[in-house]
Copies of this chain bind each other. A is one copy, B any other.
Amino acid sequence: MSELTESVQRMMKEFEKLPGIGKKSAERITYYLLKAQTSEALALADSIRLVKERVRYCKRCFNLAEQELCDICRDPHRDTSVICVVEQPRDLISIEQTGVFRGVYHVLLGRVAPLDGITADQLTIDALVRRVRAGGVDEIIMATNPTVEGDGTALLISNQLTDLPVKITRLARGITTGSTLEFANKEMLSDALVGRQNFRGEVKKH
Protein backbone atom coordinates (compact mmCIF):
# COMPACT_ATOMS: atom_id res chain seq x y z
CA MET A 1 0.00 0.00 0.00
CA SER A 2 2.48 2.59 -1.12
CA GLU A 3 -0.47 4.97 -1.47
CA LEU A 4 -0.72 5.39 2.27
CA THR A 5 1.61 7.93 3.81
CA GLU A 6 4.66 6.67 5.63
CA SER A 7 3.39 7.31 9.14
CA VAL A 8 0.03 5.68 8.36
CA GLN A 9 1.78 2.59 7.02
CA ARG A 10 3.92 2.41 10.12
CA MET A 11 0.90 2.66 12.43
CA MET A 12 -0.92 -0.04 10.49
CA LYS A 13 2.11 -2.35 10.78
CA GLU A 14 2.24 -1.76 14.53
CA PHE A 15 -1.40 -2.74 14.90
CA GLU A 16 -0.85 -5.85 12.78
CA LYS A 17 1.65 -7.08 15.37
CA LEU A 18 -1.08 -7.31 18.01
CA PRO A 19 -2.67 -10.71 18.66
CA GLY A 20 -5.89 -11.31 16.74
CA ILE A 21 -5.34 -8.28 14.51
CA GLY A 22 -4.87 -9.20 10.87
CA LYS A 23 -4.25 -7.02 7.85
CA LYS A 24 -7.93 -6.20 7.39
CA SER A 25 -8.53 -5.35 11.06
CA ALA A 26 -5.41 -3.19 11.13
CA GLU A 27 -6.68 -1.34 8.07
CA ARG A 28 -10.08 -0.80 9.64
CA ILE A 29 -8.54 0.51 12.86
CA THR A 30 -6.21 2.74 10.85
CA TYR A 31 -9.06 4.39 8.96
CA TYR A 32 -10.97 4.74 12.20
CA LEU A 33 -8.07 6.51 13.89
CA LEU A 34 -7.45 8.72 10.87
CA LYS A 35 -11.01 9.95 11.12
CA ALA A 36 -11.12 10.09 14.91
CA GLN A 37 -10.60 13.22 16.96
CA THR A 38 -6.94 13.78 17.73
CA SER A 39 -7.77 13.69 21.45
CA GLU A 40 -9.35 10.26 21.12
CA ALA A 41 -6.39 8.79 19.24
CA LEU A 42 -3.94 10.32 21.68
CA ALA A 43 -5.93 8.92 24.62
CA LEU A 44 -5.18 5.45 23.23
CA ALA A 45 -1.50 6.25 22.64
CA ASP A 46 -1.12 7.75 26.11
CA SER A 47 -2.89 4.83 27.81
CA ILE A 48 -0.32 2.44 26.33
CA ARG A 49 2.58 4.65 27.38
CA LEU A 50 1.17 4.99 30.90
CA VAL A 51 0.83 1.23 31.33
CA LYS A 52 4.43 0.66 30.34
CA GLU A 53 5.57 3.43 32.67
CA ARG A 54 3.50 2.49 35.68
CA VAL A 55 2.73 -1.19 35.69
CA ARG A 56 5.19 -3.61 37.21
CA TYR A 57 4.96 -6.93 38.98
CA CYS A 58 4.14 -7.14 42.66
CA LYS A 59 7.36 -7.72 44.57
CA ARG A 60 5.77 -10.49 46.59
CA CYS A 61 3.35 -12.37 44.33
CA PHE A 62 4.15 -11.07 40.79
CA ASN A 63 0.60 -9.94 40.15
CA LEU A 64 0.27 -6.69 38.20
CA ALA A 65 0.87 -3.69 40.44
CA GLU A 66 1.37 0.05 40.27
CA GLN A 67 3.09 0.12 43.64
CA GLU A 68 5.62 -2.15 45.24
CA LEU A 69 2.91 -4.60 46.32
CA CYS A 70 -0.30 -5.36 44.43
CA ASP A 71 -3.77 -4.50 45.73
CA ILE A 72 -4.30 -8.04 47.00
CA CYS A 73 -1.01 -8.27 48.88
CA ARG A 74 -1.72 -4.87 50.46
CA ASP A 75 -5.22 -5.92 51.55
CA PRO A 76 -5.09 -6.69 55.32
CA HIS A 77 -8.26 -8.79 55.04
CA ARG A 78 -6.70 -11.46 52.80
CA ASP A 79 -5.63 -14.72 54.39
CA THR A 80 -1.87 -14.97 53.77
CA SER A 81 -1.73 -18.57 55.00
CA VAL A 82 -3.25 -19.86 51.74
CA ILE A 83 -1.40 -19.20 48.49
CA CYS A 84 -3.07 -19.93 45.17
CA VAL A 85 -0.48 -20.53 42.45
CA VAL A 86 -1.48 -19.40 38.95
CA GLU A 87 0.33 -19.13 35.64
CA GLN A 88 -0.67 -15.62 34.63
CA PRO A 89 -2.25 -12.47 36.10
CA ARG A 90 -5.30 -13.19 33.94
CA ASP A 91 -5.83 -16.49 35.78
CA LEU A 92 -5.75 -14.60 39.05
CA ILE A 93 -8.47 -12.32 37.73
CA SER A 94 -10.63 -15.29 36.73
CA ILE A 95 -10.36 -16.71 40.24
CA GLU A 96 -10.98 -13.34 41.89
CA GLN A 97 -14.16 -13.01 39.87
CA THR A 98 -15.62 -16.10 41.51
CA GLY A 99 -15.46 -14.21 44.81
CA VAL A 100 -14.91 -17.42 46.81
CA PHE A 101 -11.16 -17.20 47.41
CA ARG A 102 -9.92 -15.03 50.29
CA GLY A 103 -6.28 -16.12 50.34
CA VAL A 104 -3.38 -14.62 48.41
CA TYR A 105 -1.70 -15.55 45.14
CA HIS A 106 1.58 -16.39 43.54
CA VAL A 107 1.85 -15.70 39.82
CA LEU A 108 4.39 -17.89 38.03
CA LEU A 109 4.45 -15.67 34.93
CA GLY A 110 4.31 -18.72 32.69
CA ARG A 111 4.53 -22.48 32.78
CA VAL A 112 7.39 -24.87 32.18
CA ALA A 113 7.24 -25.59 28.45
CA PRO A 114 10.35 -27.26 27.09
CA LEU A 115 9.04 -27.10 23.52
CA ASP A 116 8.79 -23.31 23.77
CA GLY A 117 12.14 -23.11 25.53
CA ILE A 118 10.58 -22.02 28.83
CA THR A 119 12.40 -23.58 31.76
CA ALA A 120 11.63 -23.52 35.49
CA ASP A 121 14.24 -20.86 36.25
CA GLN A 122 12.42 -18.38 34.00
CA LEU A 123 9.39 -18.58 36.28
CA THR A 124 8.94 -17.20 39.80
CA ILE A 125 9.19 -20.63 41.47
CA ASP A 126 12.22 -19.69 43.60
CA ALA A 127 10.34 -16.73 45.01
CA LEU A 128 7.42 -19.02 45.90
CA VAL A 129 9.70 -21.46 47.68
CA ARG A 130 11.19 -18.55 49.64
CA ARG A 131 7.71 -17.36 50.61
CA VAL A 132 6.80 -20.80 51.93
CA ARG A 133 10.14 -21.23 53.66
CA ALA A 134 9.65 -17.88 55.43
CA GLY A 135 6.74 -19.52 57.26
CA GLY A 136 3.09 -18.75 57.95
CA VAL A 137 1.85 -20.63 54.89
CA ASP A 138 -0.47 -23.58 55.54
CA GLU A 139 -1.70 -24.43 52.06
CA ILE A 140 -0.64 -24.06 48.45
CA ILE A 141 -3.46 -24.43 45.93
CA MET A 142 -2.13 -25.35 42.49
CA ALA A 143 -4.29 -23.51 39.97
CA THR A 144 -2.11 -23.94 36.91
CA ASN A 145 -3.97 -24.76 33.72
CA PRO A 146 -5.31 -28.33 33.39
CA THR A 147 -2.92 -29.02 30.51
CA VAL A 148 0.15 -31.24 30.19
CA GLU A 149 2.38 -28.22 30.74
CA GLY A 150 0.31 -26.77 33.57
CA ASP A 151 0.17 -30.12 35.36
CA GLY A 152 3.91 -30.60 34.81
CA THR A 153 4.66 -27.22 36.28
CA ALA A 154 2.50 -27.95 39.33
CA LEU A 155 4.26 -31.29 39.83
CA LEU A 156 7.68 -29.66 39.59
CA ILE A 157 6.70 -27.05 42.17
CA SER A 158 5.23 -29.61 44.57
CA ASN A 159 8.52 -31.54 44.34
CA GLN A 160 10.42 -28.43 45.36
CA LEU A 161 8.12 -27.94 48.35
CA THR A 162 8.20 -31.54 49.47
CA ASP A 163 10.39 -30.93 52.56
CA LEU A 164 8.33 -28.01 53.79
CA PRO A 165 5.38 -28.36 56.21
CA VAL A 166 2.72 -27.15 53.81
CA LYS A 167 -0.40 -28.82 52.42
CA ILE A 168 -0.50 -28.87 48.61
CA THR A 169 -3.88 -29.09 46.88
CA ARG A 170 -5.07 -28.52 43.36
CA LEU A 171 -8.31 -27.29 41.76
CA ALA A 172 -10.99 -29.98 41.53
CA ARG A 173 -11.53 -31.47 38.09
CA GLY A 174 -14.70 -32.92 36.74
CA ILE A 175 -17.74 -32.18 34.67
CA THR A 176 -18.66 -28.54 34.24
CA THR A 177 -21.86 -27.11 35.68
CA GLY A 178 -24.42 -26.65 32.92
CA SER A 179 -22.83 -29.15 30.52
CA THR A 180 -24.21 -32.53 29.49
CA LEU A 181 -22.47 -35.89 29.91
CA GLU A 182 -23.14 -36.60 26.25
CA PHE A 183 -20.53 -34.05 25.23
CA ALA A 184 -18.04 -34.64 28.03
CA ASN A 185 -14.75 -36.07 26.81
CA LYS A 186 -13.04 -39.10 28.32
CA GLU A 187 -10.54 -37.08 30.40
CA MET A 188 -13.31 -34.95 31.87
CA LEU A 189 -15.40 -37.97 32.83
CA SER A 190 -12.50 -39.92 34.27
CA ASP A 191 -11.45 -36.85 36.32
CA ALA A 192 -15.03 -36.57 37.51
CA LEU A 193 -15.16 -40.24 38.53
CA VAL A 194 -11.78 -40.33 40.24
CA GLY A 195 -12.44 -37.09 42.12
CA ARG A 196 -16.06 -37.88 42.97
CA GLN A 197 -17.45 -35.87 45.86
CA ASN A 198 -19.92 -36.52 48.67
CA PHE A 199 -23.46 -35.99 47.48
CA ARG A 200 -24.41 -33.76 50.43
CA GLY A 201 -22.17 -31.02 49.09
CA GLU A 202 -19.20 -31.72 51.29
CA VAL A 203 -16.09 -31.36 49.17
CA LYS A 204 -13.77 -34.36 49.23
CA LYS A 205 -10.56 -33.48 50.99
CA HIS A 206 -7.30 -34.19 49.19
Q: Give me the interface of A with B, judged by CB distance under 8 Å.
A: 1-8, 10-11, 13-15, 17-21, 25, 27-29, 31-34, 38, 40-52, 54-55, 63-66, 70-72, 88-90, 92-93, 96-97
Contact = CB atoms under 8 A, between A and B. Distances in A.
B41 A15 contact: no
Given A34-B55, A55-B34, A3 B96 contact: yes
Contact of A48 (B42, B63, B97): B42
A20 B10 contact: no
A13 B20 CA distance: 17
Contacts of A55: 5, 7-8, 34
Contacts of A14: 43-44, 47-48
Given A32-B19, A46-B45, A54 B11 contact: no
A50 B38 CA distance: 11
A3 B92 contact: yes
A38 B53 CA distance: 8
A51 B34 contact: yes
A163 to B, nearest CB: 33
A170 to B, nearest CB: 22
A78 to B, nearest CB: 12
B89 A34 contact: yes
Nearest to A96: B3
